[in-house]
């Protein structure tokens, strides 16, 4: 392993101390725990960009996490970093996302002191029961670029891999959904990293490995970083913030907030939780936890069943 890579020692730094495993490092154990967890499995029912689409080939949160892990490991391995830690953090990085995309953060924020951030909530609430190592939890909590920098180089790799993966595959999905065309991508992207996902991922991954090895720190050269920024800006303008997506987000926020309020007033419907308190703050926390874990279809179905939403009024994508 390279100088500065995160070494696995003993059972790892955990909130609850454990004995070391005979055959697995502490980060390999984290990776196994995330893969076998319910929050990770539920990612298959949570959208990446498009809510409950008719096209089964569009990405969901689970396929996104798998692609992020592939990109992250492809960077970490040649750099001599800890591959198990990298893959564990990459697969777990979005487990805190609520249903129906990023709009769920705006929907749930009024119910959470300090606001709802999927990275923080995923690390500190959703995956807390797994008793993950400090380094794994830190990489998950801080993978978003509006959070503090991760404490490990593996965590930094995951943050970059997340952005690289989603700009490439969200564009590919938008082309499949006929929202943009392949020819629409600007020259500031195609001239540097190519016009198709395979070329783009190869260019970004290769550039990251070369630049990080040369600089001794995780990052991209300026030219490729500018291309990544241009790619992301294009996606925001043409995909994420297009009028139809904004209208969809507004509907999602309304639906999820109504659902959370309803559960606060009807806590007997909060999953497997046995209501043992009348404390409003505790009930609210359980309601948020339940709603945040819902798949898109489950949340939409509950809105129809309990809130009177008409099926044709539900938020849906292309």
The two three-digit tokens of residue 210, written as one number: 């070369």
Residues 315/255, Cβ–Cβ less than 8 Å: yes
**Which of residues 259 and 278 earns the better pLDDT score?**
259
- pTM of the complete model: 0.96
- Give the domain 26-243 fold: Hypothetical protein af1432 (1.10.3210)
Cα–Cα dist 194/201, whole Å? 9
Tell me the backbone φ, ψ of residue 47, rounded to 5 degrees: -75, 155
147 with 119: CB under 8 angstroms?
yes
Model pLDDT, residue 318: 56
Q: Rg (Cα) of the chain, in Å, rounded?
A: 20
Contacting residues for 262 by C-beta, under 8 A, at least 6 apart: 269, 306, 307
pLDDT at 274: 84
Phi, psi of 275 (to 5 degrees): -65, 115
CB 55 within 8 A of CB 112: no
What is the per-residue pLDDT across 267-307, written as a single tens digit (0 to 9) for each? 999 988 888 888 999 999 999 999 999 999 999 999 999 99
Q: Convert the pLDDT of each residue in 43-90 to its tens digit.
A: 999 999 998 777 889 999 999 999 999 999 999 999 999 999 999 999
Tokens of 143: 């993978």
CA distance 63 to 47: 10
Can you give the residue ranges of every domain in the chain? 26-243, 244-313
The two three-digit tokens of residue 190, written as one number: 């195609």
Cβ–Cβ under 8 Å, residues 179 and 242: yes
- Cβ-in-10-Å burial (0-12, 13-18, 19+) of 110 comes to middle
**Backbone phi, then psi, for 70, in 5-degree steps?**
-65, -45
Do residues 168 and 199 touch, judged by C-beta distance below 8 A? no
CB burial class (10 A; 0-12, 13-18, 19+) of residue 133? buried
């Amino acid at each position: 392993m390279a100088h500065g890579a995160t070494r696995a020692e003993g059972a790892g730094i955990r909130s609850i101390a454990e004995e070391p495993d005979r055959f697995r490092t502490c980060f390999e154990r984290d990776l196994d725990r995330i893969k076998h967890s319910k929050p990770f499995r539920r990612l298959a029912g949570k959208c990446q960009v498009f809510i409950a689409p008719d096209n089964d080939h569009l990405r969901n949160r689970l396929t996104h996490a798998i692609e992020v892990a592939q990109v992250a490991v492809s960077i970490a391995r040649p750099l001599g970093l800890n591959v198990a830690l990298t893959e564990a953090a990459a697969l777990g990085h979005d487990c805190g996302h609520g249903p129906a995309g990023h709009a769920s953060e705006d929907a749930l924020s009024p119910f959470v002191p300090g606001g709802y951030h999927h990275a923080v909530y995923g690390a500190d609430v959703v995956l807390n029961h797994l008793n993950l190592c400090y380094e794994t939890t830190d990489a998950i909590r801080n993978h978003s670029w509006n959070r503090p920098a991760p404490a490990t180089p593996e965590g930094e790799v995951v943050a970059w891999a997340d952005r690289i993966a989603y700009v490439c595959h969200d564009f590919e999905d938008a082309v499949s959904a006929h929202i943009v065309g392949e020819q629409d991508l600007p020259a500031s992207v195609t001239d540097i990293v190519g016009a198709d996902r395979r070329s783009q991922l190869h260019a970004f991954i290769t550039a990251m490995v070369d630049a990080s090895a040369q600089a001794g720190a995780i990052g991209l050269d300026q030219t490729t970083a500018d291309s990544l920024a241009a790619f992301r800006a294009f996606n925001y303008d043409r995909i994420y913030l297009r009028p139809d997506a904004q209208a969809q987000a507004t509907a999602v926020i309304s639906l999820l907030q109504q659902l959370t309020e309803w559960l606060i007033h009807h806590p007997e419907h909060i999953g497997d939780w046995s209501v043992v308190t009348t404390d409003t703050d505790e009930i609210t926390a359980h309601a948020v936890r339940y709603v945040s874990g819902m798949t898109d279809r489950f949340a939409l179905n509950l809105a129809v069943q309990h809130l009177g939403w008409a099926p044709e009024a539900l938020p849906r994508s292309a």
